Amino acid sequence: MSMNRPWLDSYAPDVPHDIDISEFPSIVSVLEKAITKFADRPAFSNFGKTITYREVDELSANFASYLIHELKLKKGERVAIMLPNVLQYPIAIFGVLRAGLTVVNTNPMYTARELRHQLNDSGAAALLVLDNFACTAEEVLHETKVRQVITTSVGEMLGPKGLLVDFVLKHVKQAVPDYDLPEAIRFRKALAKGAKHKLPHVSIQPSEIAFLQYTGGTTGVSKGAMLSHSNLVANMQQSSSWIGKNAKEGSEIIITALPLYHIFALTANCLVFMKFGGLNYLITNPRDMPGFVKELKRSNFTAITGVNTLFNGLLNTPGFDKLDFSRMHLALGGGMAVQKAVAEKWKNVTGVTLIEAYGLTETSPACCMNPLDLKEFNGAIGLPISSTHCCIKDDDGNILPQGEIGELCVKGPQVMQGYWQRPDETSKVIDAEGWLHTGDIAKMDDKGFFYIVDRKKDMILVSGFNVYPNEIEDVIAAMPGILEVAAVGVPDEKSGEAVKIVVVRKDQSITADDIKHYCREYLTGYKQPKVIEFRTELPKTNVGKILRRELRDSPKEA
């Protein structure tokens, strides 16, 4: 079905309307081409240790051989990886994929309940886990089909320095709880066993599942989005064609602070920058902001991706404004709405526009992106990227005209195959015409730019008026002395729902009355917060998304 694509007129001259998906039949072929072209260039760096593309080739081949020859895993079986950003992660990902297996990315912060569900739902045959989280694995393994656990430490691939790193984590920071997994094998030992075998050629079809990417954990049961090799290759091609003219082959250094188990970092950082022969600078603990700023200082970076909370955190960390930003040409924000106040401050401090992009786990992830030559923050999620169709639908499934508000729907080669073993859940989000329903309320302007108004489920209904939390948060975030803010709806006898905001102050002298006075100036009556709560921090997912549901459900802090 051909559709009018008004956004194409707003594309930069060198951005193709459509991309060539056939250039790479699989993610493995992307890796192989990078290895051939950039063999001796640095590929990944962590805690001062750097490995080249050639080393990624050797190490991932050894891991693939271990999985095939030692564990006897058959094509299509699943391997769960439960790591933060350490060198083992990319080695393991490419090893699993080269063996014709499927990666199950697993959040290391999962509780035992969440981990049990994911291991059982995916039917993972093996688990690679960091020592720091192995006690959680130990708790649930007997209830799963996992046949082999591979353990590793933060320092295992760092050489002599790794011994010190591990000693500090275990004995000084007490960050490694004791666990007992006698059948487990160490990562390095698995690599050594794999090195004794020759890696067979494994033929991989574009439609085979590369990743089971779990999503929706905050809204009931977590579901595995089936992302094929062609889904990820398509999104890599789409994203790289968008940023291509600014990227210099073989000299890019991208800061990877979002965890690689998050689809944004996996595609935008790992795959896109691998295509350019770039260096992924892995940040293991971005929550240690002073340590993060020190890493940035020594990295000589050219690009960074992140979520709004990450950029805001950096801007509020002493020393960040003193960094050398002369090589940086790309700052890409996604995963949640970028706030205007944060974007403006970022531009003032770094001189680089914070470009907002939009995507979902289900779309591998990018759907829309702002043009890279954007002079300043525009509040839009951007234009549908190459080979992507977007539309706005009403509740009856009718496509709405330009300017009207409804649900954002997406079609394109990056859209998932569906949810793993959940055809009922798949049919709820992918309609008969193949449109993926995002659950986000949006509108399109006359130039083809899309604007998210809010999440369907986050909308607050005050006396019949729709109130969108993003708008409230944007206004209050711009108030001097406010560090972070989240808005939610709470039950109200008079108006059905009222606006509640939870605020983290930079200036402790700010009162609820000060905020109310400020809001009176910028927000119409029904949008003004009725309940104002102060906290020392906002509850967030491990990736930094604010958990609005927890703010809605939780009692007030004293």
- Mean predicted confidence (pLDDT) in 303-318: 95
Q: Count CB atoms within 10 A of the CB of residue 14.
A: 9
Rounded CA gap, 252 and 299, in Å? 11
Helix (H) or strand (E) holding 465: strand 465-467
- Is the predicted pLDDT of residue 67 greater than 50, yes or no? yes
Query: Within the chain, what is the greatest distance between any pair of CA atoms?
Result: 73
Confidence at residue 3, expressed as pLDDT on a 0 to 100 scale: 56
Report yes or no: 501 and 484 within 8 Å, Cβ to Cβ. no
Report yes or no: 289 and 253 within 8 Å, Cβ to Cβ. no
Name all domains of the chain by residue range, CATH numbers in brackets. 27-204 (3.40.50.980), 459-553 (3.30.300.30)
Handedness of CA 38, 104, 96, 155 (dihedral sign): positive
Report yes or no: 336 and 309 within 8 Å, Cβ to Cβ. yes
Q: What is the pTM of this model?
A: 0.89
3-state DSSP assignment of residue 393: strand
Cβ-proximal residues to 396 (8 Å cutoff; 6+ apart), any chain: none
Helix (H) or strand (E) holding 55: helix 53-65
Handedness of CA 255, 258, 262, 264 (dihedral sign): negative
Work out the burial of residue 50: count CB atoms within 10 Å of its CB; fewer than 13 is exposed, 13-18 middle, 19 or more buried: middle
Bond from prior residue into 365 cis (ω within 30 degrees of 0): yes
Confidence at residue 218, expressed as pLDDT on a 0 to 100 scale: 41
Report yes or no: 269 and 302 within 8 Å, Cβ to Cβ. no
- Mean predicted confidence (pLDDT) in 108-122: 91
Q: How far is CA 114 from CA 327, 352, 530, in A?
A: 41, 39, 35
pLDDT tens digits, one per residue of 260-302: 999 999 999 999 999 999 999 999 999 999 999 999 999 999 9
Report yes or no: 352 and 332 within 8 Å, Cβ to Cβ. no
- Is the predicted pLDDT of residue 469 greater than 80, yes or no? yes
pLDDT tens digits, one per residue of 213-226: 998 644 456 899 99
Q: How far is CA 375 from CA 11, 354, 399, in A?
A: 15, 10, 31
Rounded CA gap, 104 and 78, in Å? 6
Tokens of 175: 């960050």
Confidence at residue 216, expressed as pLDDT on a 0 to 100 scale: 63
Confidence at residue 558, expressed as pLDDT on a 0 to 100 scale: 37
Tokens of 335: 């995963």
3-state DSSP assignment of residue 279: strand
DSSP per residue, 407-445: EEEEESTTS-S-BTT-HHHHHHHB-TT-PEEEEEEEEE-
DSSP per residue, 159-198: THHHHHHHHIIIIIS--S-----TT-EEHHHHHHHHHTSP
Tokens of 403: 């300017």
- Is the predicted pLDDT of residue 1 greater than 50, yes or no? no
Rounded CA gap, 125 and 77, in Å? 7
Of the candidate ranges 34-48, 140-154, 278-292, 485-499, the one whose mean pLDDT is the lowest: 485-499
Say which DSSP state 507 is in.
S
Report yes or no: 130 and 85 within 8 Å, Cβ to Cβ. no
Percent of the chain past pLDDT 90, that is, above it, reads 83
Report yes or no: 296 and 289 within 8 Å, Cβ to Cβ. no
Q: Count CB atoms within 10 A of the CB of residue 171.
A: 10
Rounded CA gap, 392 and 409, in Å? 6
- Is the predicted pLDDT of residue 555 greater than 80, yes or no? no
- Mean predicted confidence (pLDDT) in 17-33: 96
Rounded CA gap, 388 and 384, in Å? 6
Question: Please, which residues bridge with residue 355 across strands?
Answer: 332
Mean pLDDT of the chain: 93
Q: How far is CA 138 from CA 21, 134, 183, 328, 542, in A?
A: 42, 6, 11, 43, 21
Question: Please, which residues bridge with residue 393 across strands?
Answer: 399, 407
3-state DSSP assignment of residue 53: helix
Residue recorded with tokens 């079609």: 411
Backbone angles phi, psi at 225, to 5 degrees: -75, 125
pLDDT tens digits, one per residue of 334-378: 988 889 999 999 999 999 999 999 999 999 999 999 999 998 899
- Mean predicted confidence (pLDDT) in 522-533: 91
